Amino acid sequence: MMTLKVNGKDHKIDADPDTPLLYVLRDDLKLNAAKFGCGLGQCGSCTVIVDGKAVLSCVTPILLLEGKQVTTLEGLGTIERPAPIQRAFMEEQAAQCGYCIAGMIMRAQALLQRNSRPTDAQIRAEMEPNLCRCGTHMRILRAIRRASRLMEAADASSAIQETGR
Protein backbone atom coordinates (compact mmCIF):
# COMPACT_ATOMS: atom_id res chain seq x y z
CA MET A 1 0.00 0.00 0.00
CA MET A 2 1.52 3.32 -0.99
CA THR A 3 0.35 6.89 -1.04
CA LEU A 4 0.24 8.64 -4.39
CA LYS A 5 -0.31 12.38 -4.66
CA VAL A 6 -2.44 13.05 -7.73
CA ASN A 7 -3.89 16.46 -8.58
CA GLY A 8 -3.29 17.68 -5.05
CA LYS A 9 -4.98 14.77 -3.27
CA ASP A 10 -3.43 11.81 -1.46
CA HIS A 11 -4.60 8.39 -2.67
CA LYS A 12 -3.95 5.08 -0.96
CA ILE A 13 -2.97 2.72 -3.76
CA ASP A 14 -3.17 -1.04 -3.41
CA ALA A 15 -1.09 -2.16 -6.38
CA ASP A 16 2.25 -3.81 -7.03
CA PRO A 17 5.08 -1.26 -6.81
CA ASP A 18 6.08 -2.05 -10.39
CA THR A 19 2.65 -1.14 -11.77
CA PRO A 20 2.91 1.63 -14.37
CA LEU A 21 1.47 4.93 -13.21
CA LEU A 22 -0.82 4.95 -16.25
CA TYR A 23 -2.63 1.77 -15.10
CA VAL A 24 -3.11 3.17 -11.61
CA LEU A 25 -4.46 6.46 -12.96
CA ARG A 26 -6.93 4.81 -15.33
CA ASP A 27 -7.91 1.62 -13.49
CA ASP A 28 -7.68 2.58 -9.82
CA LEU A 29 -8.32 6.32 -9.84
CA LYS A 30 -10.58 6.38 -12.92
CA LEU A 31 -8.64 9.33 -14.33
CA ASN A 32 -8.96 8.47 -18.01
CA ALA A 33 -7.43 11.50 -19.69
CA ALA A 34 -3.97 9.93 -20.05
CA LYS A 35 -4.16 7.33 -22.82
CA PHE A 36 -2.52 4.00 -23.48
CA GLY A 37 -0.87 4.30 -26.89
CA CYS A 38 2.21 2.14 -27.32
CA GLY A 39 2.99 1.12 -23.76
CA LEU A 40 6.69 1.53 -24.54
CA GLY A 41 7.27 5.23 -23.93
CA GLN A 42 7.44 5.97 -27.63
CA CYS A 43 4.29 7.90 -28.48
CA GLY A 44 3.55 10.34 -25.65
CA SER A 45 -0.21 9.80 -25.35
CA CYS A 46 0.23 8.83 -21.67
CA THR A 47 2.14 12.01 -20.75
CA VAL A 48 1.42 13.47 -17.29
CA ILE A 49 3.30 15.97 -15.14
CA VAL A 50 5.38 14.75 -12.19
CA ASP A 51 6.96 17.45 -10.04
CA GLY A 52 6.69 19.93 -12.90
CA LYS A 53 8.21 17.67 -15.57
CA ALA A 54 6.49 15.87 -18.42
CA VAL A 55 6.74 12.13 -17.78
CA LEU A 56 5.59 9.09 -19.77
CA SER A 57 3.27 7.37 -17.33
CA CYS A 58 3.27 4.02 -19.17
CA VAL A 59 6.96 3.44 -18.40
CA THR A 60 6.93 5.04 -14.96
CA PRO A 61 6.31 2.47 -12.22
CA ILE A 62 4.63 3.89 -9.13
CA LEU A 63 7.57 2.83 -6.98
CA LEU A 64 9.43 5.83 -8.45
CA LEU A 65 6.77 8.26 -7.27
CA GLU A 66 6.94 8.15 -3.49
CA GLY A 67 6.56 11.74 -2.27
CA LYS A 68 6.19 13.21 -5.78
CA GLN A 69 3.29 15.30 -7.12
CA VAL A 70 1.45 13.88 -10.12
CA THR A 71 -0.73 16.18 -12.23
CA THR A 72 -3.04 14.85 -14.94
CA LEU A 73 -5.23 16.68 -17.41
CA GLU A 74 -8.07 16.43 -14.89
CA GLY A 75 -5.95 18.52 -12.53
CA LEU A 76 -5.59 21.47 -14.91
CA GLY A 77 -9.13 22.80 -15.22
CA THR A 78 -12.79 21.92 -15.29
CA ILE A 79 -15.41 21.99 -18.03
CA GLU A 80 -16.76 25.21 -16.54
CA ARG A 81 -13.34 26.71 -15.96
CA PRO A 82 -10.81 25.24 -18.38
CA ALA A 83 -7.17 26.10 -17.79
CA PRO A 84 -5.54 28.52 -20.27
CA ILE A 85 -3.83 25.66 -22.08
CA GLN A 86 -7.15 23.82 -22.45
CA ARG A 87 -8.91 26.97 -23.66
CA ALA A 88 -6.16 27.50 -26.19
CA PHE A 89 -6.48 23.95 -27.57
CA MET A 90 -10.25 24.38 -27.86
CA GLU A 91 -10.03 27.80 -29.47
CA GLU A 92 -7.54 26.54 -32.03
CA GLN A 93 -9.58 23.34 -32.56
CA ALA A 94 -6.31 21.47 -32.15
CA ALA A 95 -7.82 18.00 -31.77
CA GLN A 96 -8.94 15.72 -34.57
CA CYS A 97 -9.39 12.24 -33.11
CA GLY A 98 -8.09 13.60 -29.82
CA TYR A 99 -6.24 10.51 -28.65
CA CYS A 100 -2.89 12.29 -28.36
CA ILE A 101 -4.25 15.57 -27.07
CA ALA A 102 -4.20 14.94 -23.32
CA GLY A 103 -0.54 14.04 -23.61
CA MET A 104 0.15 17.01 -25.87
CA ILE A 105 -1.51 19.38 -23.42
CA MET A 106 0.40 18.01 -20.45
CA ARG A 107 3.78 18.27 -22.17
CA ALA A 108 2.96 21.78 -23.38
CA GLN A 109 1.81 22.75 -19.87
CA ALA A 110 5.10 21.51 -18.38
CA LEU A 111 7.00 23.59 -20.94
CA LEU A 112 4.96 26.73 -20.27
CA GLN A 113 5.30 26.38 -16.51
CA ARG A 114 9.05 26.39 -16.97
CA ASN A 115 9.22 28.94 -19.75
CA SER A 116 6.09 31.02 -20.32
CA ARG A 117 7.36 32.48 -23.61
CA PRO A 118 9.06 29.66 -25.52
CA THR A 119 10.35 30.22 -29.04
CA ASP A 120 8.97 28.18 -31.90
CA ALA A 121 12.14 26.10 -31.94
CA GLN A 122 11.83 25.45 -28.22
CA ILE A 123 8.21 24.35 -28.62
CA ARG A 124 9.08 21.99 -31.46
CA ALA A 125 12.03 20.49 -29.59
CA GLU A 126 9.99 20.02 -26.43
CA MET A 127 7.02 18.43 -28.20
CA GLU A 128 9.18 16.03 -30.24
CA PRO A 129 8.41 12.91 -28.12
CA ASN A 130 4.63 13.27 -28.59
CA LEU A 131 3.14 11.85 -31.77
CA CYS A 132 -0.10 12.78 -33.53
CA ARG A 133 -1.28 10.47 -36.29
CA CYS A 134 -4.08 12.71 -37.57
CA GLY A 135 -1.65 15.48 -38.45
CA THR A 136 -2.96 18.40 -36.42
CA HIS A 137 0.58 19.45 -35.56
CA MET A 138 0.21 22.96 -36.94
CA ARG A 139 -2.90 23.57 -34.86
CA ILE A 140 -1.20 22.10 -31.80
CA LEU A 141 1.72 24.49 -32.27
CA ARG A 142 -0.71 27.39 -32.67
CA ALA A 143 -2.56 26.32 -29.53
CA ILE A 144 0.66 26.29 -27.52
CA ARG A 145 1.55 29.77 -28.75
CA ARG A 146 -1.97 30.95 -27.88
CA ALA A 147 -1.71 29.39 -24.43
CA SER A 148 1.57 31.19 -23.93
CA ARG A 149 -0.20 34.50 -24.60
CA LEU A 150 -3.15 33.57 -22.37
CA MET A 151 -0.78 32.69 -19.57
CA GLU A 152 1.17 35.88 -19.82
CA ALA A 153 -1.42 37.65 -17.69
CA ALA A 154 -2.03 34.77 -15.32
CA ASP A 155 0.90 33.01 -13.73
CA ALA A 156 1.42 29.74 -15.58
CA SER A 157 1.35 27.58 -12.51
CA SER A 158 -1.53 29.23 -10.66
CA ALA A 159 -4.11 27.40 -12.74
CA ILE A 160 -2.88 24.11 -11.42
CA GLN A 161 -2.74 25.20 -7.83
CA GLU A 162 -6.26 26.65 -7.90
CA THR A 163 -7.96 23.68 -9.44
CA GLY A 164 -5.81 21.15 -7.64
CA ARG A 165 -7.10 22.19 -4.23
Partner 1 sequence: MVAGIVGGVVIAAVAAGFAVAWRPAIAAIEPPSPQSFDPALVKRGRELAAIGNCSDCHTVRGGASFAGGLPVPTPFGTVYSSNITPDPETGIGRWSEEAFRRAMRSGVGRDGQHLYPTFPYDHFTNVGDDDDRALYAFLMTRQPVDAPARDNQLAFPLDQRFMVAGWKLLFLRRDNFQPDNSKSAEWNRGAYLVEGLAHCGSCHTPRNVLGAEKSTAQFAGGDVDNWQAYPINSQSPSPVPWTADALFSYLCQGWDPDHGTARGPMAEVVSNLSSVNESDVRAIATYMADVFGAPSEGRVRHGEAVIAQAKAPSTPATQSSVANQAGAAIFAAACAGCHETSRALPYGGVNLALSTALSSPDPRNAINIVLSGVRPVDGERSPIMPGFADSMNDQQVVRLLQFLRSHFSNQPAWSGVEKAVVGARRTQTVFLQTSPGPINAPAEPTQRDKP
Q: What is the C-alpha to C-alpha distance for residues 20 and 36, in angstroms, rounded to an integer?
A: 11
The piece of 6-14, 26-34, 54-62, 86-94 that touches partner 1 (CB under 8 A) is 54-62
d(CA 58, CA 41): 6
Nearer to partner 1, 97 or 125 (CB): 125
Instruction: Answer whether 61's CB lies under 8 Å from 21's CB.
Output: yes
Cα angle, residue 103 at apex, residues 102 and 104 outer, rounded to 5°: 90
Per DSSP, which regions of 40-156 are E strands? 47-50, 53-56, 69-71
| Stretch of residues binding partner 1 (CB under 8 A), selected from 57-65, 75-83, 138-146, 152-160 | 57-65
Q: Which of 13, 54, 95, 106 binds partner 1 (CB under 8 A)?
A: 54
- Binding region for partner 1 (CB under 8 A) out of 33-41, 77-85, 86-94, 134-142: 33-41
- What is the footprint of partner 1 within residues 89-148 (CB under 8 A)? 121, 128-129
